[in-house]
Amino acid sequence: MPTTVPELLSQAFTLVSEEGVEISIPLYALMTWSTLTSGSGELKAQLDDKIVTLRQFKQLIDEQTFTPAETKDFPPFEQVLALLRFLDKFECDLAMRFALETVKDKVKQKEWPPLLLVVAGAFLDRPELCKQAYDAPAYTWADYPSDMHPKGLNSAYKY
Count of alpha carbons within 13 Å of 114, Cβ hemisphere only? 14
Dist CA 133 CA 146 (whole Å): 19
Domain assignment of residue 149, yes or no:
no
> Which CATH number does the domain housing residue 17 bear?
3.30.710.10
Domain assignment of residue 154, yes or no:
no
Domain assignment of residue 91, yes or no:
yes
Q: In the chain, what percentage of residues exceed pLDDT 90? A: 50
- pTM value? 0.83
Residue 51 belongs to domain spanning: 5-144
32-47 pLDDT, tens per residue?
A: 888 776 655 788 999 9
Domain assignment of residue 150, yes or no:
no
Sheet holding 12-16, edge to edge: 22-26, 12-16, 44-46
The domain total for the chain is 1
Domain assignment of residue 139, yes or no:
yes
Domain assignment of residue 31, yes or no:
yes
Domain assignment of residue 76, yes or no:
yes
Domain assignment of residue 155, yes or no:
no
Q: From residue 159, how far is each of 76, 115, 146, 155 by CA, in Å?
A: 19, 17, 10, 7
Please compute the mean of the pLDDT values over residues 2-10 and round it to a whole number: 65
Please compute the mean of the pLDDT values over residues 86-114 and round it to a whole number: 93
pLDDT at 99 exceeding the cut of 90: yes
50-94 pLDDT, tens per residue?
A: 999 999 999 999 999 999 998 888 989 899 999 999 999 999 999
